[in-house]
Amino acid sequence: MTIFIRILFACFIFQISACSNIPQPPLGQEQVTEGEEAKIKDISKILSDHLREQYSGEKILRSSHPKANGCIKGHFMVDPSISSEYQYGIFKPGADYPVWMRFSNSADKLTDDDAKDFRGLSLKLTKVDGERLPQPGDENHTQDFLFLAHDAFFAANPVEFFDFFDAAFSDNTISFLLTHPRGALNIFLGSKRYKNPLNAHWNSVTPYALGPQQNGVYKNVVRYALRTCSVNSGEIPEPPTPDFLSDNLQNQLTKGSACLDFFIQKQVDPEKMPVENVLIAWDKELSPFIKVAQIKISKQTFTSEAQKNFCENISFNPWHSLVAHRPLGGINRTRKVVMKDISDLRLKENKVSRFEPTGDEVFEK
């Protein structure tokens, strides 16, 4: 019996809905649990210690998503007819922001693109003005968004997030999978092969505010999603080459353009669309996606070493954000601390000075 059959059997026995029965705060709210701050520090330490050991004497890569499938530039263009209900922060009708996009494999080491994996996409909008969140406080005119090629995460909250890394770094991943069946199922369903990174269905999997809050209740709580709006080319070669995702993306952008539609999904039910449990995909029938912007990607070459190095030294963090788009929930609160700590470690050990992309960068082909 394979490990995933055992996992699915465990979920059947315990009823998968009960595998992640975590109490949720009311609509439009988040809830910090007791001991969370200490657990987040534990996560930061275990990841930092592992990175130092993993890359001892070598250049330190990202703790997750170390392999890029492409770092490309586009324009994030807000729908001119966006509803006034959502006109907060960057979502000004007709606004246009230069954006850097990094596609990646999620495994914590460099892997061939043929391996089934969670895929990642990080966006960094530039030339963004407005009231900013105070932390991490290292960028002044950016707005970051993070996506996975699945609609749910592998850990519900900071406790399960720590459990995953603790098991992985102790060569005990099977134990985590068997004791966290909902997370295991998400890993199984979300680990896929793709012909082109643009073909993935991208989801933020974590929630965000959209607009103001009063007495801890946010006007809107949303997840974000991206879907292709172009015909994307490329096949998986036989035998598969290690970097065919990057090759197929580059071949397409050498010949023509591409685009991605950007959506929000509004929280309408705090139990079925939880803030503090990101194991659960938000129901698209209960709350359909609403298109609010489009990313236009022009013909370009992104394979120069200078551009690759530039992208590897960018720091992505959803807390590089306007107040209007404040990240919510335990996994996002974890990211605020851990992503900054890991970024600081990586840049320091690699002797790279922190910098803020402007959107004006140009690299030789």
**Cβ neighbourhood burial of 311 (10 Å; 0-12, 13-18, 19+):** buried
Are the CB atoms for 215 and 224 separated by under 8 Å? Answer: no
Are the CB atoms for 123 and 101 separated by under 8 Å? Answer: yes
Helices marked H in the chain: 3-14, 36-54, 158-169, 173-179, 181-190, 244-255, 305-312, 330-349
Please name each of the domains of the chain with its CATH number: 3-349 (2.40.180.10)
pLDDT of residue 1: 45
Is the per-residue pLDDT at 9 higher than 90? no
Tell me, what amino acid is at 252? Q
Are the CB atoms for 337 and 40 separated by under 8 Å? Answer: yes
Q: What are the start-end ranges of the E strands in the chain? A: 67-78, 96-105, 119-125, 143-148, 202-203, 208-209, 213-214, 217-218, 221-228, 258-266, 290-297
Condensed to tens digits (0 to 9), the pLDDT of residues 309-357 reads 999 999 999 999 999 999 999 999 999 999 999 999 999 999 999 999 9
pLDDT of residue 13: 42
Condensed to tens digits (0 to 9), the pLDDT of residues 260-290 reads 999 999 999 999 999 999 999 999 999 999 9
Q: How many CB atoms lie within 10 A of CB 160?
A: 24
Q: d(Cα 106, Cα 324) in Å, to the nearest integer?
A: 28
Condensed to tens digits (0 to 9), the pLDDT of residues 176-230 reads 999 999 999 999 999 999 999 999 999 999 999 999 999 999 999 999 999 999 9
Condensed to tens digits (0 to 9), the pLDDT of residues 26-49 reads 999 999 999 999 999 999 999 999
35 Cβ neighbours under 8 A, 6+ residues apart? none
The average confidence (pLDDT) of the chain is 94
Q: Smallest Cα–Cα separation from 189: which of 149, 228, 223, 224?
A: 149
